[in-house]
């Protein structure tokens, strides 16, 4: 086991005391690794644009060390021989540690990601602990089946048959920057419950809470090598991890573009793969809804986490008769929202993750104007040095427009009216994506008729972005392969083996 001095954080500075929680190393086989293949990569505070830390730029050599460590931990030693109840206890201990260090982790998340501190505390830390406890319970409930064989061959021979569920092996977990701590938990928890080992690659923009979480994994008592964290760029560290022959399964959350590349690479070696990808989720408002509730719901659907959510309600379809009222109400809310640091309790919209992403969102706003969209609110960057974009509402946007069809991943919503329920279904399903959708109505009959017709992995009614560890989450079409959460998720970290005994 490494000494405490090896895990010393970066020096505290008087002007930014949050730096006291930052780790500037990778964790491989339970030990800190400071060196990568090139110069360290800067990490920024999105609210100020200032550099707050540096991370190692891992290359193939560091990736290989991490995969080898995970392979050794999986193949032999205490983790391999640990009973399911032991894995359950360690996951529960990790959940306790997450809560005990919740203030530190939430502040670190807000500093590195820019999200509102309350969201970091309630969702990243609070929900993260809940997800760990939920998955801990599954560790002792992995079962096989007893089978009855129907073919008596050869005559006179009897058989007993059953199935075994075994861990898939070494998992490459690659996560995005929008919910860094929670996404790390989503990948680590089911893998550990199943008995796998993990090499986690956080996004290069937001490595800090993943590294701190890995330290807590060791503190909880997980053996070295069970969870390893490498940092670096996706095109180098991520690509080397995906291509490594020692990886048995790839679990990726991110863009559809990158997910397709990972899926192709996985097939070259028939690695197991799950992909939770992009979305362009419709918010469908029927003319019998509670208007105020629908307006507030539409605002939360798109502006939560600055619109940096894969299920963000970025397409708003409102039935004729309510269209003007709903869209104007949403625009008024957008115009009144306060931009600022996530540490400021008055802030309602924080910064986007990076200068590059801020420019990407602003480019889409320019495209939307050129395509004939009418800007009712926002449409501009925020003031100051941070990566802010004002919440933006486009009205009367053509269905074929790029801002209607392409994922922007920012606080930008496009609105259109519709007449009939058939029109609503046609517009909602006219997308390459199918991750989420929400219906806003007080007529249960109309809602129940619509739900089966919507191409989406999750359909919410009078709410949006509601997730639970027991509710499978994933997408239709180009929104991904596989599911997060629930029994469906656990099965993605297991191999099923059939056993047949003749006697």
Same domain for 196 and 175 = yes
Residue 4 counted as domain residue: no
Q: What pLDDT score does 21 carry?
A: 59
Q: To the nearest 5 percent, what fractions of the chain are helix, strand and coil?
A: 40, 20, 40
Contact status, residue 406 vs residue 360, Cβ threshold 8 Å? no
Same domain for 259 and 296 = no
Contact status, residue 114 vs residue 350, Cβ threshold 8 Å? yes
Q: What pLDDT score does 17 carry?
A: 39
Residue 243 counted as domain residue: yes
Distance CA 321, CA 286 (A): 9
CATH number for 378: 3.40.309.10
Residue 214 counted as domain residue: yes
Q: What pLDDT score does 126 carry?
A: 97
Residue 221 counted as domain residue: yes
Q: What pLDDT score does 6 carry?
A: 44
CATH number for 88: 3.40.605.10
pTM > 0.85: yes
Same domain for 338 and 440 = yes
Same domain for 212 and 317 = no
Same domain for 267 and 288 = no
Q: What pLDDT score does 3 carry?
A: 37
Residue 5 counted as domain residue: no
Q: What pLDDT score does 150 carry?
A: 84
Same domain for 247 and 362 = no
Same domain for 213 and 358 = no
Same domain for 291 and 258 = no
Burial of 132 (0-12, 13-18, 19+ CB in 10 A): buried
The one catalytic residue in 24, 88, 215, 276 is: 276
Pair of tokens at residue 473: 């989450």
Same domain for 244 and 122 = yes
Tokens 């079409």 locate to 477
Examine the residue annotation and report whether 276 is marked as an active-site residue of this protein: yes
Q: What pLDDT score does 20 carry?
A: 53
Which is it for the CA torsion 188, 190, 192, 196, positive or negative?
negative
Q: What pLDDT score does 154 carry?
A: 85
The total domain count for the chain is 2
Residue 13 counted as domain residue: no
Same domain for 156 and 130 = yes
Same domain for 31 and 56 = yes
Domain that holds residue 289: 281-461
Same domain for 174 and 301 = no
Which residues of the chain are modeled with pLDDT < 50? 1-18
């Amino acid at each position: 086991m490494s000494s405490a001095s090896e895990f010393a954080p970066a020096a505290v500075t008087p002007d930014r005391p949050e730096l006291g929680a930052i780790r500037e190393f990778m964790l491989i086989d339970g030990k800190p690794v400071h060196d990568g293949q090139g110069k360290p990569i800067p990490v920024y505070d999105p609210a100020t644009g200032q550099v707050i830390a540096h991370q190692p730029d891992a290359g193939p050599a560091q990736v290989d060390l991490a995969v080898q460590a995970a392979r050794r931990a999986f193949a032999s030693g205490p983790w391999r021989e640990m009973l399911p109840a032991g894995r359950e206890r360690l996951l529960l201990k990790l959940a306790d540690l997450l809560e005990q260090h919740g203030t530190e982790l939430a502040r670190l998340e807000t500093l590195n990601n820019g999200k509102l501190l309350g969201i970091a505390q309630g969702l990243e830390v609070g929900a993260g602990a809940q997800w760990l406890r939920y998955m801990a319970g599954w560790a002792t409930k992995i079962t096989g089946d007893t089978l009855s064989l129907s073919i008596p061959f050869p005559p006179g021979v009897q058989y007993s048959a059953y199935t075994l569920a075994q861990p898939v092996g070494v998992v490459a977990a690659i996560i995005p920057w929008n919910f860094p701590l929670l996404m790390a938990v989503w990948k680590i928890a089911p893998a550990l419950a199943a008995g796998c080992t993990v090499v986690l690659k956080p996004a290069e923009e937001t490595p800090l809470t993943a590294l701190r979480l890995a330290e807590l994994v060791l503190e909880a008592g997980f053996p070295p090598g069970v969870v390893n964290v490498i940092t670096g760029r996706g095109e180098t560290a991520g690509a080397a991890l995906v291509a490594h022959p020692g990886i048995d399964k790839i679990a990726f959350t991110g863009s559809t573009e990158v997910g397709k590349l990972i899926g192709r690479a996985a097939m070259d070696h028939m690695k197991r793969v799950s992909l939770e990808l992009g979305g362009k989720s419709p918010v469908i408002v029927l003319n019998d809804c509670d208007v105020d509730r629908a307006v507030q719901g539409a605002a939360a659907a798109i502006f939560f986490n600055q619109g940096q959510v894969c299920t963000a309600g970025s397409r708003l379809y409102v039935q004729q008769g309510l269209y003007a009222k709903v869209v104007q109400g949403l625009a008024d809310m957008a115009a009144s929202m306060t931009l600022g640091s996530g540490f400021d309790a008055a802030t309602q919209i924080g910064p986007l993750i990076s200068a590059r992403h801020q420019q990407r969102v602003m480019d889409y706003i320019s495209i939307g104007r050129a395509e004939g969209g009418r800007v009712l609110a926002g449409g501009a960057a925020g003031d100051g040095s941070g990566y802010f974009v004002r919440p933006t509402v486009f009205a009367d946007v053509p269905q074929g427009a790029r801002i209607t069809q392409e994922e922007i991943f920012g606080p930008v919503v496009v609105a259109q009216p519709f007449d009939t329920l058939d029109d609503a279904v046609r517009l909602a399903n006219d997308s390459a994506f199918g991750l989420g959708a929400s219906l806003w109505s007080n007529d249960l009959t109309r809602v129940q008729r619509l739900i089966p017709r919507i191409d989406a992995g999750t359909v919410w009614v009078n709410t949006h972005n509601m997730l639970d560890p027991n509710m499978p989450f994933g997408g239709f079409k180009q929104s991904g392969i596989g599911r997060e959460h629930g029994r469906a998720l656990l099965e993605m970290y297991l191999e099923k083996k059939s056993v047949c005994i003749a006697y």
